[in-house]
Amino acid sequence: MSEEQVTEVSADAEVTQSVADDWRSTIPEEIRGHKSLEHIQDVGALAKSYVNAQSMIGADKIAIPGKHATDEDWGEVYRRLGRPDTPEGYELVNEVPEGVEANDNILDWFRGAAHEAGLTPGQAQKLLAGYNDMLGGMTQVDEGQAEQARLDTEIELKREYGAAYEDRMTNGNAVLAEFGTDDITEIPLADGRLLGDHPEMIKMMVNIGEFINSKIGEDSLEGIKTSGAMTPADAQERVNELTAQGSPYWDQRHPEHEFYVNEALKYRGMIGG
């Protein structure tokens, strides 16, 4: 290739590059240096880029708002994704777990929260179903804990009252029937059990009943018919009285010695029994 030919080729290249760069002079100055145009070499490439961008825009394409987007901008996105126009537009099936009462106020709140979050009806339904499943699991755990607490209370009271357990429960229930209401026993406590299942509550009712019986008389409380059985503590107290120092229990020659010994054995049986 001659020197003249080389010079001619170089000149053509410079003209081509100049034309490629010159196309930017035909667009507004404020966007000439935009980063998105860095790789655009000529008008043809710009046209192809535009056509490709337009092909990505359609009824099934949604532009994601930028960081400066308003609530209205996002509202339009949620609308196109399928969010109802109002919270009332969510037609939800609220299948609450067994033992839980449906609450319309909570459901209305849920609709409002779902609408504000931009959820579609399907998403809202799945979230509600998941919440109810979780609630059902928590309810089962709470019921199990409450039942165990009730059984623990029963074991504790039977150990303390022994053979007199049924009598004490009769007294306690009679006091509650006479002076209280059923509602008070249904008050839930932090551990899941009811107030009426708490041992201290039961003991208080029992003690009141015992006080009334001892000071006023058994007939003072309607419905009380007890067997007269003693608690282990009462039996131990009786044993202490029978075996006190100086009692006939320790004097074999005393005419009541045998009676004292037999009585002590009887009450000791109640303590262990």
Distance CA 163, CA 267 (A): 11
* 174-211 confidence digits (pLDDT tens): 877 777 666 777 787 766 677 888 888 888 888 887 77
Average pLDDT over residues 124-134: 86
Which 3 state secondary structure label does DSSP give 70? coil
Is 179 part of a structural domain of the chain?
Answer: no
> Which comes out higher in pLDDT, residue 155 or 256?
155
Q: Do 48 and 80 share a domain, yes or no?
A: no
* 162-178 confidence digits (pLDDT tens): 888 888 888 888 877 77
Is 100 part of a structural domain of the chain?
Answer: yes
* 64-88 confidence digits (pLDDT tens): 778 888 888 888 888 888 899 999 9
When divided into structural domains, the chain yields a total of 3
pLDDT at 226: 54
Is 242 part of a structural domain of the chain?
Answer: yes
* 134-150 confidence digits (pLDDT tens): 777 665 656 667 777 78
The DSSP annotation for 88-99 comes to GG------PPTT
> Which comes out higher in pLDDT, residue 206 or 1?
206
Residue where a domain terminates, one of 122, 140, 158: 140
pLDDT at 86: 92
Is 171 part of a structural domain of the chain?
Answer: no
pLDDT at 48: 78
The DSSP annotation for 211-248 comes to HHHHHT-GGGSTT--------HHHHHHHHHHHTSTTSG
Is 49 part of a structural domain of the chain?
Answer: yes
Q: Do 40 and 75 share a domain, yes or no?
A: no
Q: Do 48 and 88 share a domain, yes or no?
A: no
Q: How far is CA 213 from the centre of its chain?
A: 45
Residue where a domain terminates, one of 110, 140, 170: 140
Q: Do 75 and 133 share a domain, yes or no?
A: yes
Structure tokens at 174: 């009679």
Nearest to 197 by CA among 233, 223, 169: 169
To the nearest whole number, what is the mean pLDDT of the chain?
76
Q: Do 78 and 130 share a domain, yes or no?
A: yes
The Cβ of residue 253 has, within 10 Å, a number of other Cβ atoms equal to 6
Helices 121-161 and 232-242 cross at an angle (nearest 10°) of 10
Q: Is the pTM of this model over 0.95?
A: no
Is 190 part of a structural domain of the chain?
Answer: no
Is 267 part of a structural domain of the chain?
Answer: yes
pLDDT classification of 130: cutoffs 50, 70, 90: confident
Cβ-contact 216, 224 below 8 angstroms: no
Residue where a domain terminates, one of 140, 171, 189: 140
For the cut 60, the answer to whether the pLDDT of residue 10 exceeds it is no
Cβ-contact 233, 242 below 8 angstroms: no
Show the domain range for 245. 230-273
pLDDT at 15: 47
> Which comes out higher in pLDDT, residue 18 or 38?
38
Among 51-55, 104-108, 221-225, 235-239, name the most confident range: 104-108
pLDDT at 121: 92
Is 16 part of a structural domain of the chain?
Answer: yes
> Which comes out higher in pLDDT, residue 244 or 183?
244
